[in-house]
């Protein structure tokens, strides 16, 4: 009876050890995935912050260019410049208008990128939550 009881105890000990090893392995995988998700979230947050900062700078630049344009128009209206000066002002105004248009285009592009980043963030958060939920289910088994 002792020899058969000992063998059964060895089987149970082996099963317990195997289950403990599996649990440890799953815990390591969970930690690995949590770390990867955190790194991805951090990268995404930095990219979104960078795009937001660039967007703000472009908006400030656009506003400054508009003020310059208005200032030049006011200066132009107050003075009665000769023909050469008039042509120079018109040329500058056209250049500023072109630059303003380019800035508008760039702002639109950055806003689209920012929106895309926000949508990707929502997707990543959903994926992360789903993975965490699945890991919790694995852990609870």
Query: How does pLDDT run across 82-105, given as a tens digit for each residue?
Result: 777 778 889 999 999 999 999 999
Whole-model pTM over 0.75 = no
Share of the chain above pLDDT 90, in %: 76
Cα separation of 16 and 12, whole Å?
A: 6
Domain ranges in the chain are 2-140
């Amino acid at each position: 009876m002792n020899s058969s009881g000992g063998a059964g105890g060895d089987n149970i000990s082996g099963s317990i050890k195997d289950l403990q090893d599996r649990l440890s392995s799953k815990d390591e995988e969970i930690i690995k995935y949590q770390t990867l998700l955190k790194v991805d979230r951090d990268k995404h947050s930095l990219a979104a912050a960078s795009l937001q900062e660039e967007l703000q700078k472009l908006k400030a630049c656009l506003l400054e260019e508009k003020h310059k344009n208005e200032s030049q128009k006011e200066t132009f209206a107050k003075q009665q410049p000769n023909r050469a000066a008039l042509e120079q002002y018109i040329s500058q105004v056209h250049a500023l208008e072109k630059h303003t248009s380019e800035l508008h285009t760039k702002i639109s592009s950055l806003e689209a990128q920012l929106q895309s980043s926000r949508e990707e963030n929502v997707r990543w958060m959903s994926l992360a939550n789903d993975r965490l939920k699945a890991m919790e289910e694995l852990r609870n088994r």
